[in-house]
Amino acid sequence: MHPRPILNFLGLLVLFLGLSMAVPLAVSIVFEDGGADALALSMAASSAAGLLLFLSTRSREEVQLGHRDGAAIVALGWALAGLVGTLPYLLSGAVPGFTNAYFESISGFTTTGASILSDIEALPEGILLWRSLTQWFGGMGIIVLSVAILPYLGIGGMQLYKAEVPSPVVDKLKPRISETAKTLWRIYILLTAVEILLLLAGGMSLFESACHAFCTMPTGGFSPMNAGVAHYESAYFDGVILVFMLMAGVNFSLHYRFMKGNLSAFPRDPEFLAFLGLFAAFTLAVTLDIHGSIHRSLSEAFRYASFQVGSILTTTGFATADFERWPACSRLILLLSMFIGGMAGSTGGGIKVMRIVLLAKHAHREVRRIIHPHAVISVKLGGKAVADEVLSSVWGFFLLFVGLFVVSTLVMAAIGLDLVTAVSSVAASIGNIGPGLGAVGPVRNYLGIPEAGKWVLIFCMLLGRLEVYTVIVLLVPEYWRR
Protein backbone atom coordinates (compact mmCIF):
# COMPACT_ATOMS: atom_id res chain seq x y z
CA MET A 1 0.00 0.00 0.00
CA HIS A 2 1.34 3.43 -0.98
CA PRO A 3 -0.73 6.09 0.83
CA ARG A 4 1.12 9.05 -0.62
CA PRO A 5 0.46 8.51 -4.34
CA ILE A 6 -3.10 7.41 -3.50
CA LEU A 7 -3.76 10.67 -1.66
CA ASN A 8 -2.06 12.52 -4.50
CA PHE A 9 -4.46 10.99 -7.01
CA LEU A 10 -7.46 11.73 -4.77
CA GLY A 11 -6.33 15.36 -4.55
CA LEU A 12 -6.25 15.54 -8.34
CA LEU A 13 -9.74 14.04 -8.51
CA VAL A 14 -11.18 16.58 -6.06
CA LEU A 15 -9.43 19.41 -7.89
CA PHE A 16 -10.87 18.22 -11.21
CA LEU A 17 -14.41 17.95 -9.79
CA GLY A 18 -14.08 21.41 -8.24
CA LEU A 19 -12.92 23.00 -11.48
CA SER A 20 -15.64 21.23 -13.46
CA MET A 21 -18.24 23.09 -11.40
CA ALA A 22 -17.41 26.10 -13.58
CA VAL A 23 -19.80 24.68 -16.20
CA PRO A 24 -22.94 24.50 -13.99
CA LEU A 25 -21.85 27.81 -12.45
CA ALA A 26 -21.89 29.43 -15.89
CA VAL A 27 -25.33 27.93 -16.54
CA SER A 28 -26.58 29.30 -13.21
CA ILE A 29 -25.34 32.77 -14.12
CA VAL A 30 -26.94 32.66 -17.58
CA PHE A 31 -30.27 31.32 -16.28
CA GLU A 32 -30.16 33.60 -13.21
CA ASP A 33 -31.55 30.63 -11.30
CA GLY A 34 -30.21 31.60 -7.87
CA GLY A 35 -27.76 28.69 -7.69
CA ALA A 36 -24.63 30.66 -8.62
CA ASP A 37 -23.53 31.48 -5.07
CA ALA A 38 -23.71 27.88 -3.91
CA LEU A 39 -21.88 26.62 -6.99
CA ALA A 40 -19.16 29.26 -6.76
CA LEU A 41 -18.58 28.46 -3.11
CA SER A 42 -18.55 24.70 -3.79
CA MET A 43 -16.12 25.22 -6.66
CA ALA A 44 -13.78 27.35 -4.58
CA ALA A 45 -13.84 25.01 -1.59
CA SER A 46 -13.27 21.79 -3.49
CA SER A 47 -10.68 23.21 -5.88
CA ALA A 48 -8.72 24.61 -2.97
CA ALA A 49 -8.97 21.42 -0.92
CA GLY A 50 -8.06 19.28 -3.92
CA LEU A 51 -5.09 21.47 -4.85
CA LEU A 52 -3.84 21.47 -1.27
CA LEU A 53 -4.04 17.69 -1.04
CA PHE A 54 -2.42 17.28 -4.46
CA LEU A 55 0.50 19.61 -3.74
CA SER A 56 1.17 18.34 -0.22
CA THR A 57 1.45 14.72 -1.38
CA ARG A 58 3.54 15.27 -4.51
CA SER A 59 6.69 13.20 -4.70
CA ARG A 60 9.63 13.16 -7.06
CA GLU A 61 10.21 9.44 -7.05
CA GLU A 62 8.03 7.36 -9.36
CA VAL A 63 6.26 4.70 -7.26
CA GLN A 64 5.01 1.56 -8.95
CA LEU A 65 1.44 1.09 -7.87
CA GLY A 66 0.31 -2.47 -7.16
CA HIS A 67 -3.14 -3.99 -7.30
CA ARG A 68 -3.80 -3.19 -3.62
CA ASP A 69 -3.35 0.49 -4.39
CA GLY A 70 -5.71 0.07 -7.35
CA ALA A 71 -8.57 -1.15 -5.17
CA ALA A 72 -8.01 1.62 -2.62
CA ILE A 73 -7.90 4.36 -5.28
CA VAL A 74 -11.11 3.12 -6.87
CA ALA A 75 -13.16 2.70 -3.67
CA LEU A 76 -11.89 5.87 -1.95
CA GLY A 77 -12.16 7.83 -5.19
CA TRP A 78 -15.85 7.07 -5.59
CA ALA A 79 -16.66 7.68 -1.93
CA LEU A 80 -14.79 11.00 -1.97
CA ALA A 81 -16.34 12.15 -5.26
CA GLY A 82 -19.70 11.52 -3.59
CA LEU A 83 -18.67 13.81 -0.76
CA VAL A 84 -17.59 16.63 -3.10
CA GLY A 85 -20.86 16.19 -4.99
CA THR A 86 -22.92 17.05 -1.92
CA LEU A 87 -21.53 20.60 -1.68
CA PRO A 88 -23.74 22.24 -4.34
CA TYR A 89 -26.80 20.36 -3.00
CA LEU A 90 -26.23 21.39 0.61
CA LEU A 91 -25.05 24.98 0.03
CA SER A 92 -27.97 25.75 -2.30
CA GLY A 93 -30.45 24.06 0.01
CA ALA A 94 -31.64 21.93 -2.93
CA VAL A 95 -31.40 18.72 -0.91
CA PRO A 96 -32.34 18.62 2.79
CA GLY A 97 -29.75 17.03 5.12
CA PHE A 98 -26.41 15.32 4.61
CA THR A 99 -27.77 11.77 4.23
CA ASN A 100 -30.10 12.84 1.43
CA ALA A 101 -27.37 14.86 -0.25
CA TYR A 102 -24.84 12.01 -0.08
CA PHE A 103 -27.51 9.58 -1.33
CA GLU A 104 -28.26 11.81 -4.34
CA SER A 105 -24.56 12.40 -4.98
CA ILE A 106 -23.50 8.74 -4.75
CA SER A 107 -26.53 7.82 -6.85
CA GLY A 108 -25.08 10.22 -9.40
CA PHE A 109 -21.42 9.13 -9.39
CA THR A 110 -22.36 5.43 -9.38
CA THR A 111 -24.73 6.24 -12.32
CA THR A 112 -27.59 4.66 -10.40
CA GLY A 113 -30.19 7.38 -10.79
CA ALA A 114 -32.18 6.78 -7.60
CA SER A 115 -33.39 10.14 -6.35
CA ILE A 116 -34.77 11.58 -3.14
CA LEU A 117 -36.08 14.70 -4.97
CA SER A 118 -39.84 15.22 -5.20
CA ASP A 119 -40.00 18.46 -7.19
CA ILE A 120 -37.01 18.37 -9.51
CA GLU A 121 -38.18 21.16 -11.80
CA ALA A 122 -38.21 23.63 -8.88
CA LEU A 123 -34.41 23.43 -8.54
CA PRO A 124 -31.93 25.86 -10.15
CA GLU A 125 -30.78 24.79 -13.61
CA GLY A 126 -27.12 24.95 -12.55
CA ILE A 127 -27.76 22.47 -9.75
CA LEU A 128 -29.62 20.14 -12.12
CA LEU A 129 -26.76 20.29 -14.59
CA TRP A 130 -24.31 19.45 -11.80
CA ARG A 131 -26.56 16.51 -10.90
CA SER A 132 -26.37 15.27 -14.51
CA LEU A 133 -22.62 15.85 -14.62
CA THR A 134 -22.07 13.63 -11.55
CA GLN A 135 -23.49 10.78 -13.64
CA TRP A 136 -21.48 11.71 -16.69
CA PHE A 137 -18.23 11.81 -14.70
CA GLY A 138 -19.24 8.56 -13.01
CA GLY A 139 -19.55 7.00 -16.45
CA MET A 140 -16.05 8.20 -17.38
CA GLY A 141 -14.75 6.58 -14.21
CA ILE A 142 -16.48 3.31 -15.01
CA ILE A 143 -14.92 3.13 -18.45
CA VAL A 144 -11.43 3.37 -16.97
CA LEU A 145 -12.40 0.94 -14.24
CA SER A 146 -13.95 -1.76 -16.38
CA VAL A 147 -11.65 -1.64 -19.37
CA ALA A 148 -8.33 -0.67 -17.85
CA ILE A 149 -8.29 -1.57 -14.15
CA LEU A 150 -10.54 -4.55 -13.37
CA PRO A 151 -9.03 -6.85 -16.03
CA TYR A 152 -5.62 -6.33 -14.42
CA LEU A 153 -6.88 -6.86 -10.91
CA GLY A 154 -8.31 -10.19 -12.09
CA ILE A 155 -11.73 -9.26 -10.78
CA GLY A 156 -14.88 -11.20 -11.58
CA GLY A 157 -13.66 -12.70 -14.83
CA MET A 158 -12.81 -9.31 -16.33
CA GLN A 159 -9.35 -10.69 -17.14
CA LEU A 160 -11.07 -11.99 -20.30
CA TYR A 161 -10.87 -8.44 -21.61
CA LYS A 162 -7.15 -7.96 -21.05
CA ALA A 163 -6.15 -7.87 -24.69
CA GLU A 164 -9.11 -5.98 -26.09
CA VAL A 165 -7.70 -2.47 -26.29
CA PRO A 166 -4.28 -0.78 -25.93
CA SER A 167 -3.74 -1.74 -22.35
CA PRO A 168 -1.53 -1.12 -19.33
CA VAL A 169 0.90 -3.56 -17.79
CA VAL A 170 0.13 -4.56 -14.21
CA ASP A 171 3.37 -3.14 -12.85
CA LYS A 172 3.17 0.19 -14.59
CA LEU A 173 -0.50 0.78 -14.15
CA LYS A 174 -0.54 4.56 -14.25
CA PRO A 175 0.94 5.78 -17.56
CA ARG A 176 -0.89 3.37 -19.88
CA ILE A 177 -4.28 3.56 -18.19
CA SER A 178 -4.54 7.15 -19.33
CA GLU A 179 -3.80 6.06 -22.90
CA THR A 180 -6.60 3.47 -22.92
CA ALA A 181 -8.94 5.78 -21.10
CA LYS A 182 -8.41 8.67 -23.50
CA THR A 183 -9.26 6.51 -26.50
CA LEU A 184 -12.51 5.33 -24.98
CA TRP A 185 -13.39 8.70 -23.51
CA ARG A 186 -13.27 10.17 -26.99
CA ILE A 187 -15.92 7.68 -28.07
CA TYR A 188 -17.97 8.44 -24.95
CA ILE A 189 -17.81 12.19 -25.60
CA LEU A 190 -18.59 11.72 -29.28
CA LEU A 191 -21.69 9.61 -28.56
CA THR A 192 -22.86 12.12 -25.94
CA ALA A 193 -22.48 14.95 -28.45
CA VAL A 194 -24.40 13.06 -31.15
CA GLU A 195 -27.23 12.36 -28.71
CA ILE A 196 -27.43 16.04 -27.74
CA LEU A 197 -27.68 16.99 -31.41
CA LEU A 198 -30.39 14.42 -32.11
CA LEU A 199 -32.44 15.56 -29.10
CA LEU A 200 -32.01 19.20 -30.17
CA ALA A 201 -33.15 18.24 -33.67
CA GLY A 202 -36.36 16.90 -32.13
CA GLY A 203 -37.06 20.23 -30.47
CA MET A 204 -35.76 19.63 -26.94
CA SER A 205 -34.03 22.63 -25.37
CA LEU A 206 -30.22 22.64 -25.24
CA PHE A 207 -30.26 22.47 -21.45
CA GLU A 208 -32.60 19.51 -21.30
CA SER A 209 -30.85 17.75 -24.22
CA ALA A 210 -27.51 18.06 -22.46
CA CYS A 211 -28.92 16.90 -19.13
CA HIS A 212 -30.49 13.82 -20.72
CA ALA A 213 -27.46 12.95 -22.82
CA PHE A 214 -25.16 13.35 -19.80
CA CYS A 215 -27.35 10.78 -18.04
CA THR A 216 -27.89 8.39 -20.96
CA MET A 217 -24.31 7.53 -21.91
CA PRO A 218 -23.30 6.58 -18.33
CA THR A 219 -26.59 4.58 -18.07
CA GLY A 220 -27.46 6.94 -15.22
CA GLY A 221 -31.10 7.89 -15.54
CA PHE A 222 -31.37 11.29 -13.81
CA SER A 223 -33.75 13.63 -15.64
CA PRO A 224 -34.32 17.38 -15.10
CA MET A 225 -38.08 16.81 -15.48
CA ASN A 226 -40.35 15.60 -12.68
CA ALA A 227 -41.96 13.00 -14.97
CA GLY A 228 -38.62 11.97 -16.49
CA VAL A 229 -38.57 11.07 -20.19
CA ALA A 230 -42.33 10.43 -19.94
CA HIS A 231 -42.67 14.24 -19.71
CA TYR A 232 -42.27 14.63 -23.49
CA GLU A 233 -44.71 11.91 -24.59
CA SER A 234 -42.69 11.73 -27.79
CA ALA A 235 -41.95 8.57 -29.74
CA TYR A 236 -38.97 10.36 -31.33
CA PHE A 237 -37.28 11.17 -28.03
CA ASP A 238 -38.10 7.68 -26.71
CA GLY A 239 -36.46 6.17 -29.79
CA VAL A 240 -33.32 8.32 -29.68
CA ILE A 241 -32.79 7.76 -25.97
CA LEU A 242 -33.43 4.01 -26.31
CA VAL A 243 -30.80 3.68 -29.05
CA PHE A 244 -28.22 5.56 -26.97
CA MET A 245 -29.07 3.58 -23.83
CA LEU A 246 -28.40 0.41 -25.79
CA MET A 247 -25.11 1.80 -27.12
CA ALA A 248 -24.12 2.76 -23.58
CA GLY A 249 -24.89 -0.83 -22.50
CA VAL A 250 -22.40 -2.19 -25.06
CA ASN A 251 -18.72 -2.88 -24.34
CA PHE A 252 -16.94 0.32 -25.35
CA SER A 253 -14.07 -1.58 -26.89
CA LEU A 254 -16.57 -2.89 -29.48
CA HIS A 255 -17.40 0.70 -30.40
CA TYR A 256 -13.66 1.33 -30.60
CA ARG A 257 -13.03 -1.60 -32.90
CA PHE A 258 -16.05 -0.75 -35.03
CA MET A 259 -14.85 2.82 -35.45
CA LYS A 260 -11.39 1.49 -36.34
CA GLY A 261 -13.09 -0.15 -39.33
CA ASN A 262 -13.72 -3.64 -37.96
CA LEU A 263 -17.29 -3.94 -39.22
CA SER A 264 -17.75 -7.48 -37.88
CA ALA A 265 -16.86 -6.43 -34.33
CA PHE A 266 -20.50 -6.49 -33.26
CA PRO A 267 -21.92 -9.58 -35.01
CA ARG A 268 -18.87 -11.65 -34.02
CA ASP A 269 -19.05 -10.86 -30.32
CA PRO A 270 -20.93 -13.59 -28.43
CA GLU A 271 -21.72 -11.29 -25.50
CA PHE A 272 -23.21 -8.69 -27.82
CA LEU A 273 -25.42 -11.30 -29.46
CA ALA A 274 -26.60 -12.51 -26.06
CA PHE A 275 -27.27 -8.91 -24.99
CA LEU A 276 -29.35 -8.27 -28.12
CA GLY A 277 -31.11 -11.63 -27.73
CA LEU A 278 -32.08 -10.88 -24.14
CA PHE A 279 -33.30 -7.42 -25.13
CA ALA A 280 -35.39 -8.84 -27.97
CA ALA A 281 -36.84 -11.74 -25.95
CA PHE A 282 -37.72 -9.59 -22.93
CA THR A 283 -39.21 -6.85 -25.14
CA LEU A 284 -41.36 -9.43 -26.93
CA ALA A 285 -42.58 -10.97 -23.66
CA VAL A 286 -43.38 -7.60 -22.05
CA THR A 287 -45.07 -6.33 -25.24
CA LEU A 288 -47.38 -9.34 -25.27
CA ASP A 289 -47.95 -9.05 -21.52
CA ILE A 290 -48.94 -5.36 -21.48
CA HIS A 291 -50.78 -5.49 -24.82
CA GLY A 292 -54.45 -5.70 -23.93
CA SER A 293 -54.05 -5.20 -20.21
CA ILE A 294 -52.39 -1.77 -20.42
CA HIS A 295 -52.17 -0.70 -24.06
CA ARG A 296 -54.84 -1.31 -26.69
CA SER A 297 -52.49 -0.98 -29.66
CA LEU A 298 -49.66 -3.43 -30.25
CA SER A 299 -47.31 -0.71 -31.54
CA GLU A 300 -47.85 1.34 -28.39
CA ALA A 301 -47.23 -1.71 -26.22
CA PHE A 302 -44.02 -2.35 -28.17
CA ARG A 303 -42.89 1.27 -27.78
CA TYR A 304 -43.25 1.30 -23.99
CA ALA A 305 -42.01 -2.29 -23.55
CA SER A 306 -38.85 -1.80 -25.63
CA PHE A 307 -37.98 1.47 -23.91
CA GLN A 308 -38.49 0.06 -20.42
CA VAL A 309 -36.67 -3.23 -21.07
CA GLY A 310 -33.79 -1.32 -22.71
CA SER A 311 -33.70 1.17 -19.85
CA ILE A 312 -33.65 -1.45 -17.08
CA LEU A 313 -31.45 -4.02 -18.86
CA THR A 314 -28.78 -1.39 -19.51
CA THR A 315 -29.42 -0.24 -15.89
CA THR A 316 -30.17 3.33 -17.01
CA GLY A 317 -33.48 3.66 -15.23
CA PHE A 318 -35.31 6.22 -17.39
CA ALA A 319 -39.06 5.58 -17.38
CA THR A 320 -41.74 6.40 -19.94
CA ALA A 321 -44.43 4.39 -18.15
CA ASP A 322 -45.46 3.59 -14.58
CA PHE A 323 -44.31 -0.04 -14.85
CA GLU A 324 -45.31 -0.52 -11.21
CA ARG A 325 -48.83 -0.94 -12.62
CA TRP A 326 -47.81 -3.52 -15.25
CA PRO A 327 -48.80 -7.21 -14.79
CA ALA A 328 -46.66 -9.45 -12.54
CA CYS A 329 -44.85 -11.16 -15.43
CA SER A 330 -43.60 -7.85 -16.87
CA ARG A 331 -42.52 -6.64 -13.44
CA LEU A 332 -40.63 -9.90 -12.85
CA ILE A 333 -38.88 -9.55 -16.23
CA LEU A 334 -37.82 -6.02 -15.29
CA LEU A 335 -36.66 -7.24 -11.87
CA LEU A 336 -34.67 -10.01 -13.57
CA SER A 337 -33.17 -7.47 -16.01
CA MET A 338 -31.90 -5.47 -13.02
CA PHE A 339 -29.69 -8.43 -12.10
CA ILE A 340 -28.45 -9.15 -15.63
CA GLY A 341 -27.39 -5.61 -16.52
CA GLY A 342 -25.38 -4.44 -19.51
CA MET A 343 -22.27 -5.85 -21.19
CA ALA A 344 -18.91 -6.00 -19.43
CA GLY A 345 -16.85 -2.95 -20.42
CA SER A 346 -19.97 -0.81 -20.85
CA THR A 347 -21.13 1.86 -18.44
CA GLY A 348 -24.02 -0.44 -17.41
CA GLY A 349 -24.25 -2.10 -14.00
CA GLY A 350 -25.66 -5.41 -12.82
CA ILE A 351 -24.00 -8.81 -13.03
CA LYS A 352 -23.20 -8.23 -16.75
CA VAL A 353 -24.22 -10.27 -19.75
CA MET A 354 -20.74 -11.80 -20.20
CA ARG A 355 -20.93 -13.39 -16.76
CA ILE A 356 -24.49 -14.64 -17.33
CA VAL A 357 -23.35 -16.24 -20.60
CA LEU A 358 -20.39 -17.94 -18.90
CA LEU A 359 -22.58 -19.16 -16.03
CA ALA A 360 -25.11 -20.63 -18.44
CA LYS A 361 -22.36 -22.31 -20.47
CA HIS A 362 -20.85 -23.70 -17.29
CA ALA A 363 -24.18 -25.20 -16.25
CA HIS A 364 -24.57 -26.72 -19.70
CA ARG A 365 -21.10 -28.24 -19.46
CA GLU A 366 -21.95 -29.82 -16.10
CA VAL A 367 -25.05 -31.45 -17.62
CA ARG A 368 -22.90 -32.81 -20.45
CA ARG A 369 -20.30 -34.07 -17.97
CA ILE A 370 -22.94 -36.23 -16.32
CA ILE A 371 -23.72 -37.78 -19.69
CA HIS A 372 -20.04 -38.18 -20.58
CA PRO A 373 -18.34 -38.61 -17.20
CA HIS A 374 -14.90 -39.34 -18.64
CA ALA A 375 -14.77 -36.64 -21.31
CA VAL A 376 -12.86 -33.39 -20.84
CA ILE A 377 -15.28 -30.64 -21.80
CA SER A 378 -14.24 -27.00 -21.70
CA VAL A 379 -16.38 -23.90 -21.61
CA LYS A 380 -15.90 -21.89 -24.79
CA LEU A 381 -16.66 -18.27 -25.58
CA GLY A 382 -16.38 -17.11 -29.17
CA GLY A 383 -14.60 -20.33 -30.11
CA LYS A 384 -11.91 -20.00 -27.42
CA ALA A 385 -11.71 -22.11 -24.28
CA VAL A 386 -12.20 -20.07 -21.11
CA ALA A 387 -9.65 -20.70 -18.36
CA ASP A 388 -11.01 -22.34 -15.19
CA GLU A 389 -9.55 -19.46 -13.21
CA VAL A 390 -11.74 -17.01 -15.10
CA LEU A 391 -14.83 -19.16 -14.52
CA SER A 392 -13.95 -19.44 -10.86
CA SER A 393 -13.67 -15.69 -10.64
CA VAL A 394 -17.05 -15.23 -12.33
CA TRP A 395 -18.69 -17.67 -9.93
CA GLY A 396 -17.19 -15.88 -6.98
CA PHE A 397 -18.52 -12.59 -8.29
CA PHE A 398 -21.98 -14.03 -8.84
CA LEU A 399 -22.19 -15.45 -5.34
CA LEU A 400 -20.94 -12.28 -3.67
CA PHE A 401 -23.42 -10.23 -5.70
CA VAL A 402 -26.36 -12.50 -4.85
CA GLY A 403 -25.23 -12.98 -1.23
CA LEU A 404 -24.89 -9.24 -0.61
CA PHE A 405 -28.25 -8.69 -2.31
CA VAL A 406 -29.89 -11.21 0.06
CA VAL A 407 -28.27 -9.81 3.22
CA SER A 408 -29.04 -6.18 2.28
CA THR A 409 -32.66 -7.09 1.47
CA LEU A 410 -33.07 -8.71 4.90
CA VAL A 411 -31.64 -5.58 6.53
CA MET A 412 -34.03 -3.33 4.56
CA ALA A 413 -36.97 -5.52 5.61
CA ALA A 414 -35.80 -5.43 9.23
CA ILE A 415 -35.72 -1.62 8.98
CA GLY A 416 -39.41 -1.83 8.19
CA LEU A 417 -39.87 -1.82 4.40
CA ASP A 418 -42.48 -4.05 2.79
CA LEU A 419 -41.36 -7.15 0.91
CA VAL A 420 -41.51 -5.84 -2.68
CA THR A 421 -39.90 -2.49 -1.79
CA ALA A 422 -37.12 -4.19 0.21
CA VAL A 423 -36.29 -6.58 -2.63
CA SER A 424 -36.53 -4.06 -5.46
CA SER A 425 -34.83 -1.10 -3.73
CA VAL A 426 -31.77 -3.26 -3.08
CA ALA A 427 -31.87 -4.79 -6.58
CA ALA A 428 -32.18 -1.31 -8.13
CA SER A 429 -29.29 -0.01 -6.01
CA ILE A 430 -26.80 -2.86 -6.25
CA GLY A 431 -27.55 -3.10 -9.98
CA ASN A 432 -27.24 0.71 -10.35
CA ILE A 433 -30.63 1.11 -12.01
CA GLY A 434 -32.48 3.68 -9.90
CA PRO A 435 -36.24 3.18 -9.82
CA GLY A 436 -37.56 -0.08 -8.33
CA LEU A 437 -41.03 -1.37 -7.51
CA GLY A 438 -43.45 -0.68 -4.65
CA ALA A 439 -42.66 2.43 -2.62
CA VAL A 440 -39.64 3.19 -4.84
CA GLY A 441 -41.49 2.68 -8.15
CA PRO A 442 -40.88 4.85 -11.25
CA VAL A 443 -43.32 7.63 -10.32
CA ARG A 444 -42.17 7.76 -6.68
CA ASN A 445 -38.77 8.39 -5.05
CA TYR A 446 -36.43 7.35 -2.22
CA LEU A 447 -37.17 10.30 0.13
CA GLY A 448 -39.43 8.18 2.38
CA ILE A 449 -36.86 5.42 2.97
CA PRO A 450 -35.65 5.56 6.61
CA GLU A 451 -32.22 7.11 7.24
CA ALA A 452 -30.55 3.75 8.00
CA GLY A 453 -32.04 2.28 4.82
CA LYS A 454 -30.56 5.09 2.75
CA TRP A 455 -27.07 4.21 4.05
CA VAL A 456 -27.62 0.54 3.21
CA LEU A 457 -28.58 1.56 -0.32
CA ILE A 458 -25.59 3.93 -0.61
CA PHE A 459 -23.36 0.97 0.29
CA CYS A 460 -25.18 -1.19 -2.28
CA MET A 461 -24.75 1.41 -5.02
CA LEU A 462 -20.99 1.52 -4.37
CA LEU A 463 -20.77 -2.28 -4.15
CA GLY A 464 -22.52 -2.75 -7.47
CA ARG A 465 -20.67 0.00 -9.26
CA LEU A 466 -17.21 -1.13 -8.10
CA GLU A 467 -17.92 -4.76 -9.06
CA VAL A 468 -18.28 -5.89 -5.45
CA TYR A 469 -14.74 -7.26 -5.05
CA THR A 470 -13.11 -3.83 -5.04
CA VAL A 471 -15.14 -2.84 -1.98
CA ILE A 472 -15.08 -6.24 -0.30
CA VAL A 473 -11.29 -6.68 -0.36
CA LEU A 474 -10.97 -3.43 1.57
CA LEU A 475 -13.08 -4.99 4.34
CA VAL A 476 -10.82 -8.05 4.68
CA PRO A 477 -8.12 -7.62 7.39
CA GLU A 478 -5.66 -9.60 5.25
CA TYR A 479 -5.74 -6.82 2.68
CA TRP A 480 -4.23 -4.34 5.14
CA ARG A 481 -1.39 -6.56 6.36
CA ARG A 482 2.22 -5.86 5.33
Applying CB under 8 A, does 331 fall inside the site for a copy of itself?
Answer: yes
Question: What is the footprint of a copy of itself within residues 68-87 (CB under 8 A)?
Answer: 68, 71
How far is it, in rounded angstroms, from Cα 16 to Cα 123? Answer: 24
How far is it, in rounded angstroms, from Cα 47 to Cα 45? Answer: 6
Applying CB under 8 A, does 262 fall inside the site for a copy of itself?
Answer: no
Output DSSP code: residue 467: T
How far is it, in rounded angstroms, from Cα 197 to Cα 176? Answer: 32
Nearest distance from C-beta of residue 188 to a copy of itself, angstroms: 27
Candidates 350, 108, 144; CA nearest to 224 is 108
Applying CB under 8 A, does 332 fall inside the site for a copy of itself?
Answer: yes
Query: What are the φ/ψ torsions at residue 271 (nearest 5 degrees)?
Result: -70, -40
Applying CB under 8 A, does 19 fall inside the site for a copy of itself?
Answer: no
Nearer to a copy of itself, 190 or 419 (CB): 419
Using the rule CB under 8 A, which residue among 93, 382, 403, 448 binds a copy of itself? 403
Q: Judged by CB under 8 A, which stretch of 31-39, 135-143, 229-237, 467-475 contacts a copy of itself? A: 467-475
Applying CB under 8 A, does 456 fall inside the site for a copy of itself?
Answer: no
Applying CB under 8 A, does 329 fall inside the site for a copy of itself?
Answer: yes
Helix (H) or strand (E) holding 308: helix 298-313
Nearest distance from C-beta of residue 254 to a copy of itself, angstroms: 26
Nearer to a copy of itself, 223 or 393 (CB): 393
Output DSSP code: residue 385: E
Applying CB under 8 A, does 333 fall inside the site for a copy of itself?
Answer: yes
Applying CB under 8 A, does 169 fall inside the site for a copy of itself?
Answer: no
Nearest distance from C-beta of residue 274 to a copy of itself, angstroms: 14
Pattern 362-391, a copy of itself, x by CB under 8 A? xx-xxxxxxxxx--------------x--x
Inter-helix orientation angle 22-31/125-143, to 10°:
160
Output DSSP code: residue 381: E
How far is it, in rounded angstroms, from Cα 293 to Cα 116? Answer: 31
How far is it, in rounded angstroms, from Cα 311 to Cα 356? Answer: 18
Nearest distance from C-beta of residue 473 to a copy of itself, angstroms: 5
Helix (H) or strand (E) holding 31: helix 22-31
> Which residues, including other chains, have CB under 8 Å from residue 75's CB and lie 6 or more apart?
462, 466, 470, 471, 474
Candidates 357, 350, 346; CA nearest to 250 is 346
Applying CB under 8 A, does 417 fall inside the site for a copy of itself?
Answer: yes
Contacting positions for a copy of itself (CB under 8 A):
67-68, 71, 153-155, 285, 289, 327-329, 331-333, 336, 359-360, 362-363, 365-373, 388, 391-393, 395-397, 399-400, 403, 406, 409-410, 413-414, 417-420, 422-423, 469, 472-473, 476, 478-479
